[in-house]
Structure 1
Amino acid sequence: MIPIEFEPPVEDARVVIGIDFGTTFSGFSFAYIKPEKEKIAIVVNDNWLGVKGPMKTNTVLQYDEDYEDVITWGAKALANEPSKKAKNKQPRPVEMFKLHLGDVPETKKPKLPNGITPERAITDYLREMGFSEKTKTIMRKCLFDAGLIKRIGTLSLQFTTEPEAAAIHCMNILKEHGLSTGAKYLIVDCGGGTVDLTVRKLLPDNKLGETTMMSDGFCGGTYVDDKFLEFLEKQVSKSAMDELKEKNYGQVNYMVQQFCFHVKIPFTGEESDFETFEWDIERKCPALKKYVTGSEKNELRKNDWIIDLDFKTVKGFFDPVIDKILKLIKDQLKKCPDCSVMFLVGGFSESKYLQTKVKQTFGDKIKIAVPPRPVIAVVSGACEYGLDTKAVSTRVLKWTYGVLVSPKWQPGDPLSRKNSFGRIDKFYLMAKKEVQVDVDKEFSQRLLPSQPNQTSIVFSIYYTSKYSATYCDEPEMNFLGKFEVDLPDAHLGLNRPVMLTLRFGSMEVFLKATNETNNRVYRTTFCSAE
Structure 2
Amino acid sequence: MFESRLVRFVVAIDIGTEYTSFAHSLKHSFSQSTVIFEQWEGQEQGIVKSPAIVEYNDDYSSIIKWGTPVLQQLKSTSDDSEDTEFPREICTFQVFNNDNEDIWLPPELSKKKLISDYLNEIQKVVLAALQENWTGIKPSYETGTVFIVPDRWGPTNCNILSQCLLENGSLCDNKENIQFISRGKAITLNCLNENKDVLSPGDYFLNVDIDKDTINLTTRECISKDTFSEILDRMVDYKENTSIERRFLTSQGVTNEIFDQKNTNLKQIYQAQLQIQPKVESLLQKYLSSGKMTQSVDIDSIIPSLKDTVLSLTNEDLKKKLEKNKWCIELDSKIVSDLFDPLVDRLQHIIELRLTNEAEYSGKEYSVIFFVGDTFKCNYLVEKIKQMKFSSDVKICILPNSEDLVVLNGALEYVQEDYLWNVMTSLLRR
Separation in 1 of the partners of 2:216 and 2:258?
Answer: 35
Tell me what 1:31 maps to: 25
Cα contact 1:166–1:189 (8 A) shared by 2: no
Higher helix share: 2
Report deviation, 1:324.
5.5
Deviations 1:440-485 (A, max 9, x none): xxxxxxxxxxxxxxxxxxxxxxxxxxxxxxxxxxxxxxxxxxxxxx
Tell me what 1:333 maps to: 355
Cα contact 1:18–1:383 (8 A) shared by 2: yes
Deviations 1:146-204 (A, max 9, x none): 325779994544333323222222333334x5555554443334456865443444444
Cα contact 1:59–1:125 (8 A) shared by 2: no
Separation in 2 of the partners of 1:242 and 1:81?
Answer: 17
What is the percentage of aligned positions where both structures have the same residue? 19
For 1:350-361, what aligned pairs fall within 5 Å after superposition?
350-361=377-388
Aligned AA for 1:144?
Answer: S
Deviations 1:18-66 (A, max 9, x none): 33333444322333334xxx77745242233366753631342131464
1:507 aligns with 2:430: no
Tell me what 2:121 maps to: 128
Pairing partner for 2:371 from 344, 352, 356: 344
For 1:430-449, what aligned pairs fall within 5 Å after superposition?
none
Separation in 2 of the partners of 1:346 and 1:307?
Answer: 28
Aligned AA for 2:369?
Answer: M
Separation in 2 of the partners of 1:359 and 1:529?
Answer: 33
1:388 aligns with 2:417: yes
Cα contact 1:126–1:146 (8 A) shared by 2: yes
Higher strand share: 1
Cα pair distance change 1:163/1:262, threshold 3 Å: same
Separation in 2 of the partners of 1:339 and 1:230?
Answer: 36
Report deviation, 1:101.
1.6
1:19 aligns with 2:6: no
Pairing partner for 2:394 from 357, 363, 366: 366
Tell me what 1:164 maps to: 185
- Name the SS for the 1:29 alignment partner: strand
Report deviation, 1:74.
3.6
Cα contact 1:16–1:383 (8 A) shared by 2: yes
Cα contact 2:53–2:93 (8 A) shared by 1: no
- Name the SS for the 1:384 alignment partner: helix
- Name the SS for the 1:146 alignment partner: helix
For 1:280-295, what aligned pairs fall within 5 Å after superposition?
280=299, 285-288=306-309, 290-293=311-314, 295=316
Report deviation, 1:379.
1.3
Report deviation, 1:143.
0.9
Pairing partner for 1:275 from 278, 282, 294: 294
Aligned AA for 2:232?
Answer: T
Separation in 2 of the partners of 1:302 and 1:39?
Answer: 52
Pairing partner for 1:73 from 61, 66, 73: 66
Tell me what 1:513 maps to: none
Aligned AA for 2:194?
Answer: I
Cα pair distance change 1:291/1:329, threshold 3 Å: same
Aligned AA for 2:401?
Answer: R
Cα contact 1:71–1:83 (8 A) shared by 2: no
- Name the SS for the 2:425 alignment partner: coil
Cα pair distance change 1:199/1:77, threshold 3 Å: same
Separation in 2 of the partners of 1:316 and 1:60?
Answer: 32
What is the count of residue pairs matched by the alignment?
A: 381
Separation in 2 of the partners of 1:289 and 1:52?
Answer: 25
Aligned AA for 1:30?
Answer: H
Tell me what 2:165 maps to: 147
| Greater Cα offset, 136-145 or 272-281 | 272-281
Report deviation, 1:380.
1.0
Cα pair distance change 1:226/1:155, threshold 3 Å: farther
TM-score, L = length of structure 1: 0.55
- Name the SS for the 2:365 alignment partner: coil
Cα contact 1:44–1:55 (8 A) shared by 2: no
CA RMSD of aligned residues (A): 5.0
Give the number of the structure whose alpha-carbon radius of gyration is greater.
1
Cα pair distance change 1:82/1:218, threshold 3 Å: same
Aligned AA for 1:386?
Answer: V
- Name the SS for the 2:388 alignment partner: helix
Aligned AA for 1:61?
Answer: I
Separation in 1 of the partners of 2:366 and 2:377?
Answer: 22
Deviations 1:300-352 (A, max 9, x none): 47725546556666655556666665555445534375333322223333133
Unaligned runs of 5+ in 1: 395-504, 509-527
Cα pair distance change 1:355/1:294, threshold 3 Å: closer
Cα pair distance change 1:160/1:147, threshold 3 Å: closer
Pairing partner for 1:377 from 400, 406, 426: 406
Pairing partner for 1:224 from 244, 248, 258: 244
Tell me what 1:48 maps to: 39
Cα contact 2:166–2:173 (8 A) shared by 1: no
Aligned AA for 2:184?
Answer: P
Separation in 2 of the partners of 1:309 and 1:278?
Answer: 6
TM-score, L = length of structure 2: 0.65
- Name the SS for the 2:233 alignment partner: coil
- Name the SS for the 1:387 alignment partner: coil
Deviations 1:279-320 (A, max 9, x none): 547995443465244743773477255465566666555566
Separation in 1 of the partners of 2:35 and 2:413?
Answer: 12
Separation in 2 of the partners of 1:152 and 1:328?
Answer: 47
Unaligned runs of 5+ in 2: 128-150
Aligned AA for 1:275?
Answer: T
Cα pair distance change 1:213/1:64, threshold 3 Å: same
Aligned AA for 2:158?
Answer: R
Which has the bigger relative contact order, CA under 8 A and spacing at least 6?
2
Report deviation, 1:386.
2.1
Cα pair distance change 1:374/1:313, threshold 3 Å: closer
Pairing partner for 1:212 from 232, 245, 262: 232
Report deviation, 1:385.
1.4
Cα pair distance change 1:195/1:27, threshold 3 Å: farther
Separation in 2 of the partners of 1:128 and 1:350?
Answer: 31
Tell me what 1:472 maps to: none
